[in-house]
Amino acid sequence: MKHREEILELIKEKYSKALQSRFADKMRTAKGFYRLEMSPPKVDEIKRLQEDLALVKDFIKNKCYNQITVKQAWLLFLVGLEIGLWFFLGETIGKFHIVGYKV
């Protein structure tokens, strides 16, 4: 009985140390990101996406791009570039270093 209590105390001690480790802290952070980023889209988000895709389809179907000025086209290009760069920056932050993932 005494041996069992000693083992339980040792397990509790190791468990509390493990909860305070850097790895446990990174796992808690990753779990928060996972819940936020990997959750399925909500119904209102899907409806909004369908509406936006319908607008893009109408824009292309009606050839409205012929009426865009050079300034507007340049602005759209810069916005697209910014979105792309933010995506790659987010990927870099997500993997915690610039090149490749830690395996």
The mean pLDDT of 42-47, rounded to a whole number, is 92
pLDDT of residue 75: 96
Burial code (b: 16+ CB inside 10 Å, e: under 16) for 35-56 equals: eeeeeeeeeeeeeeeeeeeeee
pLDDT of residue 97: 65
Whole-angstrom distance, CA of residue 22 vs CA of residue 28: 10
Whole-angstrom distance, CA of residue 34 vs CA of residue 95: 13
pLDDT of residue 82: 94
Q: How far is CA 39 from CA 51, 63, 90, in A?
A: 21, 36, 17
* Statement: the pTM of the whole predicted model exceeds 0.75: no
The mean pLDDT of 4-23, rounded to a whole number, is 82
